Structure 1
Amino acid sequence: MGAVSAKRTLSRVVYGSRYDRVPRGQRVYVRPGERIAREIQWRLRIRRTPVMRFQDYRERTLLEETEEFITCQLCGETRQQPMFQPAGDKRAWSYRVVRCPACGFLYRNPNIRPDRLGDRYATGHSGFPTGRYAANRQRRYRLTMDAFGPALSSGQGRRLLDFGCGTGLFLRLAERRGFDAVGVDLSPGSVAAANERLTGARAYLGSPQDVPRVAAGGFDVITLWSVLAHLPRPIDDLGRLRALLAPGGVLLVLTVNAASLRLKAYGSGWNGFTRNQLMFYSAETMPALLRRTGFAGVAFTPFYGDTVEASTTRLPERLSRRLRRTVEIGDGGNMLRALAFADDEAVDRWGANLQVHRLA
């Protein structure tokens, strides 16, 4: 019996079949006692995992031609605490994830060299997603935007930049909501596919500084949909994006949540560890990044799961309440949804119904 089958069998023995209607990704949030058990498991993992000097870690770790060793991008700590080694099917890819023992930030080390990052996106991704995949992605965009209220509910001609726009799935939604929207991406095929299907919005190839219309700044909204985890120099990138925001502007981020209960439960098998992910943020570590790059505040909203929020998964009321309560008092969900405010004007204008964490 394989490891996955053994885990499923054990789960059925312990919990029975009464949680089969719950999406697999949300089961850790509804089964009695699991949150506390996983938190204890996580603390024990941290306590038992050795912390290494940077030089010792380098000497014991293989370095590929496209990689480099880095220190913590948030606080500069050099010590390394090796935590995970995710791998794809049949080990088509693998990498190491370390934890900063000073601030708790999780990141890939060795990391991808910034000058080689474009190689990973220059080819492929040229097909335009359709059908169920496209519908699910746009549902996630809508749910995330709606979670932050008026800041994203209506464009009314406000300028929007989608950083890492891919094939334009979000840009289509943004133009429908009335935003004056543009996007940038490193994949020529994706940009071409996006522009074939967009009407008012437009996608450009390259970084923001490569496109005069984008480099001029003055954006009311910048969006990063599953992009932040792919940036090897987040301080530099977010600093540049902050400079592109107009007074009163906001930055919307959706990324995997490094404090996820699923990560604590499944370790290297967590679904947030995908092939090209580089950095893994939580509500505890992201404020440090935003503070260092000039933002005035940040608000987070819980992520209960797309199908749960869209009510396409019919959970018994008691399980629905338990799931939401566990997410709210615990990790915030498997995805991290954040709205960063450029300045006090942005906080005053868009933060009224949100719990805003002020950044000194």
Structure 2
Amino acid sequence: MVSVKRTAARMLFGSRYNNVPWGQRVYVRPGERLMREAQWRLRLRSARVMSLEEYKATVPLGEIEEFLSCMMCGDSRQQPLFKPTGGRNWRYHVVRCPSCGFLYRNPNIRPERLGDLYANSYSSFLTGKYAANRQRRYQLTMDAFAPVFEHGEGRRLLDFGCGAGLFLELAEQRGFDAVGVDLSPDSVEQANARLTKARAYFGAPEDVPEIAAGGFDVVTLWSVLAHLPRPLEDFERFRRLLAPGGVLLILTVNAGSLLLKAYESGWSGFTKNHLMFYSSATLPTLLGRTGFSGVAYAPHYGDTIEAGTSQLPGPLRARLRRAVENSDGGNMMRALAFADDEAISRWGQRLRVRRL
């Protein structure tokens, strides 16, 4: 199916866009955004909706897995859409909730077995090729939500899922009183070797008294949200950990992305350890149900576009920006959640805030 679509694209657009990176093509080829959106609507209309019992009879259950109903609205019906695979290494099924549109892996990983995904030298991934441009992405996202991250003096920050401490390093440089937690013990060890004032801990926030006490001005989730098997419980915890006027920053893959609609099961957001997939249409449900007062988004045009290092010609860069703004917000979703009205008043002046 993918090869057929690629052939059709070559016939339609010729070779003119062959040198455009694959992650940017759907945003710059004329008319492709509208075509992909139409294909997506057709896909949703034609995909079968099944009861959970019917679905269970068609999909095998792994040792560390469990079947789920929708975490956002509770609907047990399933609309199977994708079968991402990493060759012989991994494969899973992604379904859509026909009621609220939430995308999630089903069967999913049982929470008590989540550590199995990170036990085998996960830090080598976080500090290898994956990490080459991480700090640039963090910087660009912080700039997009200025002035929240401009100065950290006198403010406490928790980086949940801190990995090898790449962001904590930036946070301490900006003056934050910063701590982090992670499920990978070797990542935590590497983080503490990197840091000067900030500190990383192995485990959950409630395992560390100084974190469990809360009072944080900022909590950050850098590429973490898609890894959470019980998001409602986690976000209730994040809300408790925030001080009055506090904010929660989220960077995650965008399930509303045109790239998902174009590449389907081959979408880059479907990785081995990702469990749930959010968009600007489904994230507000999670935030509203867990006590947050508002949310704002910053479009993600791509790191090279925002950093000014893209080789795209100027007219194509402008076309890409328009397509992102008029459609999905980009392949990554950047969101800032506000704990209360005080947070909206303090940090939401430059942003388009959706109240929850």
| TM-score, normalised relative to structure 2 | 0.96
- Measured after TM superposition, the shift of residue 127 of structure 1 is 3.8
- Measured after TM superposition, the shift of residue 118 of structure 1 is 1.3
2:64 corresponding residue in structure 1:
66
Checking the alignment, whether the CA contact within 8 Å between 2:213 and 2:241 is kept in structure 1 is: yes
Checking the alignment, whether the CA contact within 8 Å between 2:79 and 2:95 is kept in structure 1 is: yes
Checking the alignment, whether the CA contact within 8 Å between 1:219 and 1:245 is kept in structure 2 is: yes
Q: Which amino acid aligns with 1:37?
A: M
1:81 corresponding residue in structure 2:
79
1:324 corresponding residue in structure 2:
321
1:57 corresponding residue in structure 2:
55
Secondary structure at the counterpart of residue 102 of structure 1: coil
Counterpart Cα distance in 1 of 2:127 and 2:84: 29
Checking the alignment, whether the CA contact within 8 Å between 1:105 and 1:280 is kept in structure 2 is: yes
- Residue 29 of structure 2, aligned match among 26, 31, 52: 31
Counterpart Cα distance in 2 of 1:201 and 1:61: 45
Counterpart Cα distance in 2 of 1:152 and 1:235: 26
- Measured after TM superposition, the shift of residue 133 of structure 1 is 4.8
Secondary structure at the counterpart of residue 249 of structure 1: strand
- Residue 335 of structure 2, aligned match among 310, 335, 338: 338
Checking the alignment, whether the CA contact within 8 Å between 1:128 and 1:167 is kept in structure 2 is: no
1:354 corresponding residue in structure 2:
351
- Residue 225 of structure 1, aligned match among 222, 227, 237: 222
Secondary structure at the counterpart of residue 213 of structure 1: helix
Secondary structure at the counterpart of residue 151 of structure 1: coil
**Structure 2 residues not aligned, in runs of 5+:** none
Checking the alignment, whether the CA contact within 8 Å between 2:2 and 2:263 is kept in structure 1 is: no
- Measured after TM superposition, the shift of residue 280 of structure 1 is 0.2
Counterpart Cα distance in 2 of 1:127 and 1:193: 10
- Residue 250 of structure 1, aligned match among 235, 243, 247: 247
1:150 corresponding residue in structure 2:
147
1:303 corresponding residue in structure 2:
300
2:164 corresponding residue in structure 1:
167
Structure 1, residues 182-215: CA drift from partner, whole Å, max 9, x if none? 0000111000111011001000000000000110
Counterpart Cα distance in 1 of 2:103 and 2:5: 26
- The 1:279–1:48 alpha-carbon spacing in structure 2 relative to 1, beyond 3 Å, is same
Q: Which amino acid aligns with 2:200?
A: A
- Residue 290 of structure 1, aligned match among 284, 287, 290: 287
- The 1:124–1:135 alpha-carbon spacing in structure 2 relative to 1, beyond 3 Å, is closer
Counterpart Cα distance in 2 of 1:109 and 1:164: 23
- Measured after TM superposition, the shift of residue 121 of structure 1 is 1.5
- Measured after TM superposition, the shift of residue 129 of structure 1 is 5.7
Counterpart Cα distance in 2 of 1:105 and 1:129: 28
Secondary structure at the counterpart of residue 122 of structure 2: coil
The aligned length equals: 356
The correspondence of residues 233-248 of structure 1 with structure 2, limited to 5 A, is: 233-248=230-245
1:273 corresponding residue in structure 2:
270
Secondary structure at the counterpart of residue 184 of structure 1: strand
- Measured after TM superposition, the shift of residue 120 of structure 1 is 1.4
Checking the alignment, whether the CA contact within 8 Å between 2:217 and 2:242 is kept in structure 1 is: yes
- The 1:133–1:250 alpha-carbon spacing in structure 2 relative to 1, beyond 3 Å, is same
- Residue 139 of structure 1, aligned match among 136, 140, 143: 136
2:256 corresponding residue in structure 1:
259
1:209 corresponding residue in structure 2:
206
**Structure 1 residues not aligned, in runs of 5+:** none
- Sequence identity percentage: 69
Counterpart Cα distance in 1 of 2:42 and 2:125: 44
Secondary structure at the counterpart of residue 178 of structure 1: coil
- Residue 17 of structure 2, aligned match among 13, 16, 19: 19
Checking the alignment, whether the CA contact within 8 Å between 1:106 and 1:258 is kept in structure 2 is: yes
Between 305-314 and 333-342, the greater mean CA deviation after superposition? 305-314
Between 126-135 and 101-110, the greater mean CA deviation after superposition? 126-135
Structure 1, residues 296-315: CA drift from partner, whole Å, max 9, x if none? 00001111011111111132
- The 1:246–1:316 alpha-carbon spacing in structure 2 relative to 1, beyond 3 Å, is same
Checking the alignment, whether the CA contact within 8 Å between 1:123 and 1:188 is kept in structure 2 is: no
Q: Which amino acid aligns with 2:223?
A: S
